[in-house]
Amino acid sequence: MRLVTISVIWTALALVLGGYLLSLVFRDTLEQNFDERLNSLLENLIGISSDDTSTNVNLSRPMVDPRFEQPYSGWYWQIAPKGFSPVRSRSLWDVSLDVNFDQSVNRTRYRLTSGPEEQQLRLVERDVTLPGNDLIYRFAVAIDTSEIDEQADRFDKILLVGLGALGAGLVAASLLQVFLGLKPLGHIKESLSKVRNGEEEYLPKDFPSEIQPLADELNALLDHNNEIVERSRTQVGNLAHALKTPIAVLRNEARMNDGPMSETVAKQTENMHKYVEHYLKRARMAANVKTISSHSQIMPSIHNIARALNKVHPEKSIVVKTEFEEKGLVFKGDLNDFEEMVGNIMENAAKWARKNITVECYKDGQNIRIEIRDDGPGIDIKAREAVFARGGRLDEKIPGTGLGLSIVKDLTDLYGGKIILDENKKSDTGSGLLVTLFLPSV
Amino acid sequence: MRLLLAEDDPDLSRQLKSFLEDAGYAVDASLNGEDAHFLGETESYDAIILDLGLPVMDGISILKKWRGAGIDTPVLILTARDSWSEKVAGLDAGADDYVPKPFQIEEILARIRALIRRAAGQSSSELSIKGLILNSASSKVTVNGVPIKLTAQEYKLLSYMMHHPNKVISRTELTEHIYDQDFDRDSNTIEVFVTRIRKKIGIDIIKTIRGLGYQLDAE
């Protein structure tokens, strides 16, 4: 908009100024031509004049232009001998052009004067002596200036129309230029918002050549961003990895010895472990979700995890079902995070199930819905909230860190998803847990 | 029961070894991947605990080599990264179970017991043959309900035999599975142990197959 305004103002200014100058120049030229014509008429008049008597002047032939014969035509000549009444063109009829002999006019002089019927006249005059006597004759030719005004007006009108059309054309062109020129920028804006929403990973490569460098730079920036995220994830992972073994060693050492110190160390290392796990995962998640979100096909992961868990629990059966095209089930987020969520739930199901675990995947509008059922003992309604608590564990006898479901809950919250625990009503054994996971889909 | 423990952290390795030995296992500990690979391929183990992040040769490669060489000893992997892709890769490479680090040492023990049991085709932690009951979780042995006191070596031997009922087991095999690598082996001590066990349980269940070894008669 700013561009358009500036270009309109500039165009208008340039055209008005140009038009004014053109009009001035044209008028000046007209006046010059007019004066030259007046001058040649004067020369002509002088040339054909001869002294008749001392006070009268004869023209050897009449002036060519018939307008000198028509009364008040606006074309006049007059020859005024000093001290005598002047000889005039017929067109002057009963009027004389004003003559002032106080000043002698030895060189051709132009001036404006008024004529009959309020005509504005341009007058050229010169004092001449004719051969034969010493009398001074003032020769004068005058023409109505309305002719100049008419021509100038006509020119101005043409100029106005012409320049107006030009101006409109220029404004339209600049509008078009701005529109077409800025269209790729609008395209970049759309593409960027797509990247932000996770629909695309990069800006496309098909921008016009003047915009492409910008898009390439933005892509490089996205790359750089991803790299930073990746690096911080790796470092966080390394830190986690590095801390795990010392914590395990400390904890085991404490557990194998008795005494109050061992007890404290055991308790504190347990806390250390929980905090490390929790906050490192949170940091990883936050780094991940805040930046560019990716797309993850979920079915290969689910099949992999099911196969892995089946190996650990060969006596149990894990069935993965979906009525949808597997490629169509795409989670809007990171694959590792997805595996963390689904893997932990499936692992729990496999641990507690008597025989059967089923995993069903649905597409539910904007969501992916995953239902994970087992036929184990299930979880009492009152106890369901507790499993999401950090480190919360319902059964201390079956080993596990107890972090599993709290991390699943953190992750689903972070992705704007939901996790619901319910009774598995389809269970053959009459009990069991149904975990439903809602996650954003692409 | 003899285990291979491949873990590169010396403290953790020492802890695990002493804990597992207290629980009645013979344990060979290896601190790098190459040694672990060699031991796993040349020695006979009942189960292997394998850390995936070993120096020199990583756990996944070792696993693939073992499985490629036809070694089907149950393998428990220790994963530090705790990512599912790592667990899946480990299990796909031939592991039988995984424990994420940091773990509680009892958890390793429980998983190892379950793996050995599963390899022997049993699903319960109680093995029962003709009134002789061995509980691998509590390490208790009873005959017709009466508790029997066994030494660690006697328990190991009986446990191995009960995990392989009806199989003719040579003295060498028994030695391999109840002693770790560094133990000064003498197959005559096996005879002494068998005699003592026979006496303690009081029922005729361990047969001597001349020239071949022993057989636990479950028929």
For chain B, domains (ranges, CATH) are 2-119 (3.40.50.2300), 126-216 (1.10.10.10)
Q: Is the pLDDT of residue A231 over 70?
A: yes
Q: What would the CATH number be for the domain defined by A2-150?
A: 3.30.450
Q: How far is CA A337 from CA A48, A88, A331, B210, in A?
A: 113, 112, 10, 60
pLDDT at A396: 47
On whether the CB atoms of residues A285 and B68 are closer than 8 A, the answer is no
Two structure tokens written together for A386: 């507790």
pLDDT at A52: 65
What is the signed CA dihedral for A409, A413, A416, A419, rounded to 10 degrees? 30
Q: Does B185 touch chain A (CB under 8 A)?
A: no
Tell me which residue has tokens 């996205």: A222
Residue A339 CB contacts under 8 Å (≥ 6 apart), including other chains? A301, A305, B83, B84, B85
Identify the three-state secondary structure at position A363: strand
Q: What would the CATH number be for the domain defined by A295-440?
A: 3.30.565.10
Nearest CA in chain A to B19: A256
pTM over 0.90: no
Q: Which ranges of B23-120 does DSSP label H, i.e. alpha helix?
A: 33-42, 59-68, 84-92, 105-119
ipTM score above 0.95 = no
Show residues of chain B in contact with A401, CB under 8 Å: 100
Q: How far is CA A13 from CA A5, A18, A175, A181, A419, in A?
A: 12, 8, 17, 24, 67
| DSSP classification of residue A86 | P
> When comparing pLDDT for A7 and A393, which is higher?
A7
Two structure tokens written together for A177: 């230029």
pLDDT at A24: 93
- Amino acid in position B53: G
Instruction: Round to whole Å and give the CA distance between A83 and A397.
Output: 145
| DSSP classification of residue A70 | S
Q: Is the pLDDT of residue A397 over 50?
A: no
Tell me which residue has tokens 């051969």: A131
| Mean pLDDT for chain A overall | 84
Q: Does B67 touch chain A (CB under 8 A)?
A: no
pLDDT tens digits, B90-135: 999 999 999 988 788 888 999 999 899 888 876 667 888 888 888 8
Instruction: Round to whole Å and give the CA distance between A39 and A27.
Output: 18
Calculate how close chain A gets to B116, using CA atoms only, in Å.
Answer: 13
ω into residue B102 within 30 of 0, thus cis?
Answer: yes
pLDDT at A291: 46
Tell me which residue has tokens 């022997």: B120
Two structure tokens written together for A404: 């599993």
- C-beta atoms of A249 and B12 within 8 A: yes
Instruction: Round to whole Å and give the CA distance between B140 and A24.
Output: 122
On whether the CB atoms of residues A42 and A139 are closer than 8 A, the answer is yes
Nearest CA in chain A to B78: A245
Q: At A439, is the pLDDT very low, low, confident or very high (cuts 50, 70, 90)?
A: very high
Show residues of chain B in contact with A252, CB under 8 Å: 12, 15-16, 19, 104-105
pLDDT at B171: 87
Q: Is the pLDDT of residue A323 over 90?
A: no
Where do the structural domains in chain A lie, given as residue ranges? Answer: 2-150, 214-290, 295-440
Q: At A282, is the pLDDT very low, low, confident or very high (cuts 50, 70, 90)?
A: low
Nearest beta carbon to residue B103 from set A241, A248, A308: A248
Residue whose C-alpha is closest to residue B73's, from B32, B22, B39: B39
pLDDT at A57: 76
Nearest CA in chain A to B76: A312
Q: Determine how many CB atoms are found less than 10 A away from the CB of residue B122.
A: 17
Residue whose C-alpha is closest to residue A98's, from A70, A75, A121: A121
Q: Does B124 touch chain A (CB under 8 A)?
A: no
Q: At A53, is the pLDDT very low, low, confident or very high (cuts 50, 70, 90)?
A: low
> When comparing pLDDT for B28 and A56, which is higher?
B28
Two structure tokens written together for A257: 């010895």
